[in-house]
Amino acid sequence: MTITPALPSDFLFGFATAAAQIEGGGAEAERKSGRGDSIWDEFCDTPGKIRDGTHVKRTCNHLELYKEDIALMRSLGANAYRFSLSWPRIVPMGGKGDPINQKGIDFYNNVIDECLKVGLVPFVTLYHWDLPLELFKRYGGWLNKARIVEDYTNYAKTCFELFGDRVKHWLTFNEPWCTAVLGHGIGQFAPGHVSNTEPWIVGQNLMIAHASAAKLYMREYKAHQGGMIGITLNGDWTDPYDESPENIEAAQRKMDFAVGWFADVIYLGRYPQSMVDILGDRLPKFTQEELGLLKDSSEFYGCNTYTTNTIRATRTTDEFAGYTKMAFDKPDGTEIGVKSQLGWLRDVPWGFRRLLNYLYQRYKRPIYMTENGWAIKGESSLSRAEALIMITDDEGRVQFYDGYTQALKEAVQIDGVDVRSYFGWSFLDNFEWASGLGPRFGSVYVDYETFERIPKDSATTLMQFFKDNIASK
């Protein structure tokens, strides 16, 4: 009997990275590269903001080692590479009238050309959180709708013109929820603001900037460049603590605040009613012109997801979770998922399958999985010698990827969900924002002193899954 492969021949698979998390080789190298400071540079300069005191300027030195990294990625079996462009590396001060940095343009041209040379499809994110610091100082960055939309759209246009002849897969934004909530709500991420009004303003401005850039691409570049464009959103599955009506409703409310905030507006043309009911006038209204701009502004659903939570209607102070209680426990006293290095992350593959079904049924768009990954409990505290022993057997990450890729396969093959890519997070151990260089999500080990790269078992096993389950062309 012939077994039909679960995934189509044009399925994209590989690893994901972000510019701010891997490019830096040190302060002097960054200065010579011409990159302007981002809000993360200033955030890292502020004592106590980064858990281990490390800095975005010195991460994995991808700026110099990109050829080695791309060759390694391809040798492991990947057919695509999701990476981001750094706005302050291309336009150091960020604004429409500001000069561009030719060294930055040369670097990304080289990365793209190297991908194509070895047979990797470049899947490019325009914005992965590293706002040019100058724009924040000039007018408050994402808080100023008119100016930030204009400057971001100009930056996107610059990228379409410089790279669009070779890049056919574009993402406007990575996880706008994090920019709005972690950056402007609870202050955990740059620029570090704490507010119950700013996140909703920033969220709206991000959506309008996304739509402005996406519609520009569709109008002026898509026909002759032949690419596609969308946005990628974070959001984890919410499972009701039990089958009581109030907990079922709470799980949906949490999904509304995590996913629907952006996805319902972009794909359905409205905010979730639960957000309207809870936030009232703090939730900015869209004009009819803005809603028209947002309509059909994302050609697919870009999905970043990592875990699953159990949700109770128990009233909390967490407005960003719709006042629900998020946990991992069940009524019988058990907990879902294996624990990771991070308190919020558990290994729950069945929740991933349910999420894929939910997104496809609700938004009716093909899904590009753009991030999914694991940080093994205790891995970050290992010495180099201990880490090198573990590299040959990073069992926790292998187990995570085995479970999640099997759930992906079942969602496609059994449930009929249209999923077109999968990118493991991350290719390299890297700078994990406010956690610094602590958590190791990489399928490739990085020695942060020497920048040496050593593949872990998960790098091979993850790529092998796709080679085994994708139809031959």
CA 85, CA 408: separation in Å to the nearest integer?
Answer: 28
Reading the block at residue 338, the tokens are: 């294996």
Could you tell me the CA-to-CA distances from 336 to 94, 325, 328, 346 in Å, in that order?
Answer: 44, 15, 5, 8
pLDDT band of residue 391 (cuts 50, 70, 90) is low
What is the per-residue pLDDT for 121? 98
Reading the block at residue 159, the tokens are: 């990228």
| pLDDT for 4 beyond 70 | no
Reading the block at residue 108, the tokens are: 């990304």
pLDDT tens sequence across 123-141 = 999 999 999 999 999 999 9
Whether the Cβ atoms of residue 266 and residue 207 lie closer than 8 Å to each other: yes
Catalytic residue among 134, 299, 371, 432: 371
CA 44, CA 55: separation in Å to the nearest integer?
Answer: 6
- CA–CA–CA angle 277, 280, 285 (5° rounding): 110
pLDDT tens sequence across 202-217 = 999 999 999 999 999 9
Whether the Cβ atoms of residue 270 and residue 191 lie closer than 8 Å to each other: no
User: What is the residue whose two structure tokens read 């540079």?
Assistant: 41
pLDDT tens sequence across 229-259 = 999 999 999 999 999 999 999 999 999 999 9
CA 86, CA 228: separation in Å to the nearest integer?
Answer: 20
What is the per-residue pLDDT for 472? 82
pLDDT tens sequence across 33-65 = 999 999 999 999 999 999 999 999 999 999 999
Give the DSSP H or E segment for 370: strand 367-371
pLDDT tens sequence across 414-432 = 999 999 999 999 999 999 9
175 included as an active-site residue: yes
CB atoms within 10 A of CB 46: 11
CA 259, CA 269: separation in Å to the nearest integer?
Answer: 14
Which of residues 393 and 175 earns the better pLDDT score? Answer: 175
CA 342, CA 22: separation in Å to the nearest integer?
Answer: 20
Cα–Cα nearest to 304, from 249, 236, 361 = 236
Domain ranges of the chain: 12-469
Lowest mean pLDDT among 173-182, 202-211, 383-392, 444-453: 383-392
Catalytic residue among 23, 175, 299, 432: 175
Average pLDDT of the residues of the chain: 96
Could you tell me the CA-to-CA distances from 345 to 27, 179, 313, 341 in Å, in that order?
Answer: 32, 19, 21, 8
pLDDT tens sequence across 275-299 = 999 999 999 999 999 999 999 999 9
Q: Does domain 12-469 fall into CATH 3.20.20.80?
A: yes
Whether the Cβ atoms of residue 197 and residue 282 lie closer than 8 Å to each other: yes
What is the per-residue pLDDT for 394? 86
299 included as an active-site residue: no
Whether the Cβ atoms of residue 372 and residue 404 lie closer than 8 Å to each other: yes
Whether the Cβ atoms of residue 347 and residue 338 lie closer than 8 Å to each other: yes
Bond into 86 cis (ω within 30): no
Radius of gyration of the chain (CA): 21
Average pLDDT over every residue of 377-401: 81
Cα–Cα nearest to 79, from 114, 118, 125 = 118
Residue type, 138: R
Q: DSSP letter at 179?
A: I
pLDDT band of residue 2 (cuts 50, 70, 90) is very low
Reading the block at residue 94, the tokens are: 């960020």
CA 380, CA 361: separation in Å to the nearest integer?
Answer: 38
Measured in degrees and rounded to the nearest 5, phi and psi for residue 420 equal -120, -5
